[in-house]
Amino acid sequence: MSKESPFVQLLRTTVDFSLYAKYNEDMKRLSFIVVLSLILIPALFSETAFWIGFDPVDNSWNNSELLSFTDLYETGSELIVSNEEGKSIVTKVYGKKPKTNEGRDLGLTESALEELGLWGKGTSQVEVKLRKGAIKEEIEIEEDTGWYSFVLEGVERNISYDKYKALIRNGFKPESILDGDFVYFTLPYIADYEREEKRNLLSSLGLEMKEEIVSKNPYMD
């Protein structure tokens, strides 16, 4: 019988693999925890990707480049974008996303979508991690915009992947940060009219609310 490497032994002290039935799910959970543990990548975001559209008339960029368009990251930042199967690419943030339909977060060029196997599929769920650059500074909100972010109580990291996937399945766009043995989720883009419904949904998922924060209207500059 082959002897386990020290690395595998270390992982077994932090992750209870007996909790998971399928090998693929084991690997996904492990990857999620390891990524959150890296100081290099402070946050993991779930985004809905869409095709940015045809090349501009001024040829300032083109669809053969691996580019992304987003309101969350500073121009020039580099993002690691992954599909649901774990295929990843690095894109450069060219600029802000254009005005578009509700629920579209990250504009990608045709080449980027092709690399991810998402070309021709309309909108697709992806995970986005900051590789280089910065998240845009929050704008101070002085009045009620009708939009909120839910900040949740910490979740033990050995069950955080299950909670993360449950949030996505139920229409949330979770942002997650690891702090010690706990993962803290923030859920942006909650409209005022759906706050009570979302609170009840979170309760049914076994997640506790810490606070609600007034946030910027996602449809306003």
- State the CATH number of the domain containing residue 34: 3.30.70.2030
Return the structure tokens found at 75: 């121009």
Mark whether 84 and 127 lie in a shared domain: yes
When comparing pLDDT for 189 and 217, which is higher?
189
Distance CA(113)–CA(103), nearest Å, equals 17
**Residue 204 above 90 pLDDT?**
yes
The pLDDT, as a whole number, for residue 43 is 55
The pLDDT, as a whole number, for residue 201 is 95
Binned at pLDDT 50, 70 and 90, residue 115 comes out as very high
Mean pLDDT of 96-106: 79
Domain end residue (candidates: 99, 132, 165): 132
Distance CA(213)–CA(221), nearest Å, equals 19
Asked if 149 and 215 count as a contact pair (C-beta separation under 8 A), the reply is yes
**Residue 6 above 70 pLDDT?**
no
Binned at pLDDT 50, 70 and 90, residue 30 comes out as low
Name residue 7's beta-bridge partners. none
pLDDT in tens, 137-184: 655 555 678 898 898 998 998 898 899 889 989 999 887 776 668 888
Domain end residue (candidates: 116, 132, 148): 132
Secondary structure (DSSP) of 124-154: EEEEEEEEES-BPPPPPP-S--SEEEEEEPP
The owner of tokens 């690395």 is: 7
User: How many contiguous H segments (helices) and E segments (strands) does the chain have?
Assistant: 5, 11
Mark whether 128 and 149 lie in a shared domain: no
Kindly report the number of other CB atoms within 10 A of residue 61's CB atom: 16
Mean pLDDT of 182-195: 88
The pLDDT, as a whole number, for residue 137 is 65
Distance CA(4)–CA(7), nearest Å, equals 8
**Predicted TM-score of the model (pTM):** 0.49
- 204 within a domain of the structure (yes/no): yes
Q: Say how many domains are in the chain.
A: 2
Distance CA(88)–CA(80), nearest Å, equals 6
Asked if 153 and 188 count as a contact pair (C-beta separation under 8 A), the reply is no
Domain enclosing residue 146, as ranges: 17-43+136-221
